[in-house]
Chains A and B, each alone.
Chain A
Amino acid sequence: MKLASLFGIEAAAFLLIIGETYLFFNFVVPLGSIPHSPIDYTGLALLKLALIIGLVAVWFVVMIGLTRAYVRAKVKFAPRPSS
């Protein structure tokens, strides 16, 4: 089945979207300041920003990795018109 690899990439995107959205809304957004902690309001905002960028980066890195692997495997045998 020639679409199997693309179905796999789709499934990976599906699982990552669900997992990362859950992490975002349940862990990153509710992060509150901890009493007597050295992390102040600005530090907390920066920490949240870093975590959000991290979540997005994970999605990007996994998707780029999977796609590059797919393209590398296929491009050598890419069809060309016979002329």
Chain B
Amino acid sequence: MPLGLAEVGLLLLSFAVPLVAVLAGLPPFLRYLIRNGWTSDDAHKTLQTKVPEPAGPVLFLAALVGEIVVAIGFNSWVPVAVSLGAGVAFAVGLADDLFVLGGKTKPLLLLFAGLAFAGIVVIIPDLYQPVITFPILGDTAPHLTIYTVLAVVAFPVVSNAFNMMDAFNGEISWFTLLTSLALLVGVSLHGAYASGFSLARVGATLPLVAVAGGFLLFNRYPSRAFDGDSGSLMFGAMFAGLAITGGVEIAAIIAIIPAILNSFYTLSSVRGFVERRRMPSRPTYIGSDGLLYPSTEPGAPNTLARLVLLAGALSEKDLVRDLIYLTLVACLFSVAISVLTWVI
């Protein structure tokens, strides 16, 4: 469908506003965090390095401002539902940043993010279509109850998967940026080729891309800011909400395969939800040469980073580069799925 000038302007605005909010809001907030002692050790450096954390509040507010622009500009409830889910996940993450929640408490509380999101269906029944669209094969039959249950469960699962990809400098920001771009391609193709698809669903994806891109400038190696659980859980919840409202569930799952594998490895090796600060040993350690090595202890938790390091010790920067390659391949799979689903 051809876009009008006003629609293009609104889309640009829904990208620019959150980006400017991150770039302008983060430096003073980071100074505030440092002044008040809100810093964490950068665990993968030989010299003790303190990094301000959590940047999550600014990231959430920036994303929220972007979603408000989309909600008002396109007169849509979709950004409200996405913001509600992201807001609950942000609150759970902030509670974890401030008080450290238990390994099982966090996923349980994150179910409320899914419930808040799905609750909007009462106001807007077509918030999501309860079907999954497969490449070439087309739509499944609608299954509202099962789809809604899966949508609610998706919030804790995806949020935790994003949270577990937040271990190294720049990892979470690169991961969120790449996966949200793959999501944007999917939602845009869905919008371009499906009839009756609201442009607000495309617009609602842009704040996530903008916030992740802006945060990357502060979070890339060597990090000047950590997002904290408030940031990573919010990113995950927003991604889940946008995938559901955009009707690109399969492409979204494919894009986050590295995070799914990472969570699967961790949960299966430590046998359940264990808070990372309470794990018996670390999956990787830093050698005196400044390189990262995989733990060879039998009880060490498995992570994607540990598997990459088993092939050879790497600096933190190179390890993140390899993790980005893995994410990039998954995102290419995702884009291919989107093209096969909506174009062909």
Physical interaction between A and B: yes
Chain A residues close to B by CB (< 8 Å): 2-3, 5-7, 9-11, 13-14, 17-18, 21-22, 25-26, 29-30, 60, 63-64, 67, 70-71, 74-75, 78-83
Instruction: Kindly identify which residue among A5, A9, A11, A81 contacts B288, using a CB–CB cutoff of 8 Å.
Output: A81
Determine if A79 and B309 form an interchain contact, defined as CB atoms under 8 angstroms apart: yes
Determine if B265 and A81 form an interchain contact, defined as CB atoms under 8 angstroms apart: no
Determine if A13 and B257 form an interchain contact, defined as CB atoms under 8 angstroms apart: yes
By beta carbon, the residue of chain A nearest B286 is A81
Given contacts A3-B322, A6-B308, A79-B313, contact A67 B265 (CB under 8 A): yes
Which of B158-166, B182-190, B290-298 contacts its partner? B290-298
By beta carbon, the residue of chain A nearest B253 is A17
Determine if A79 and B140 form an interchain contact, defined as CB atoms under 8 angstroms apart: no
Top 4 closest A-B pairs, CB basis? Answer: A81-B287, A74-B310, A25-B140, A79-B313
Chain B residues close to A by CB (< 8 Å): 132, 134-135, 137, 140-141, 143, 146, 250, 253-254, 257-258, 260-261, 264-265, 268, 287-289, 291, 293-294, 296, 302, 304, 307-313, 322, 325-326, 329-330, 333, 337
Determine if B330 and A14 form an interchain contact, defined as CB atoms under 8 angstroms apart: yes
From A2, A11, A17, A25, name the one whose CB has the most chain B CB atoms within 10 angstroms: A25
Instruction: Kindly identify which residue among A11, A29, A74 contacts B143, using a CB–CB cutoff of 8 Å.
Output: A29
A22-B291 Cα distance, complex, nearest whole Å = 43
Hey, which chain B residues are within 8 Å of A71, CB to CB? Answer: 302, 307, 310
Q: Can you list 7 contacts pairing A with B, beta carbon distance less than 8 Å?
A: A14-B333, A17-B257, A63-B261, A67-B265, A70-B307, A71-B302, A83-B288
A10-B146 Cα distance, complex, nearest whole Å = 27
B210 → chain A closest CB, angstroms? 27
A14-B135 Cα distance, complex, nearest whole Å = 13
A75-B293 Cα distance, complex, nearest whole Å = 11
Given contacts A10-B326, A25-B143, contact A74 B311 (CB under 8 A): yes
Determine if A22 and B310 form an interchain contact, defined as CB atoms under 8 angstroms apart: no
Instruction: Kindly identify which residue among A11, A13, A75 contacts B296, using a CB–CB cutoff of 8 Å.
Output: A75
A64-B261 Cα distance, complex, nearest whole Å = 10
Given contacts A5-B311, A22-B137, 11 further A-B contacts (CB under 8 A): A10-B261, A13-B260, A29-B141, A29-B143, A63-B261, A64-B268, A67-B265, A71-B302, A79-B294, A79-B309, A81-B288
Hey, which chain A residues are within 8 Å of B288, CB to CB? Answer: 81, 83
Given contacts A22-B134, A75-B296, contact A3 B326 (CB under 8 A): yes
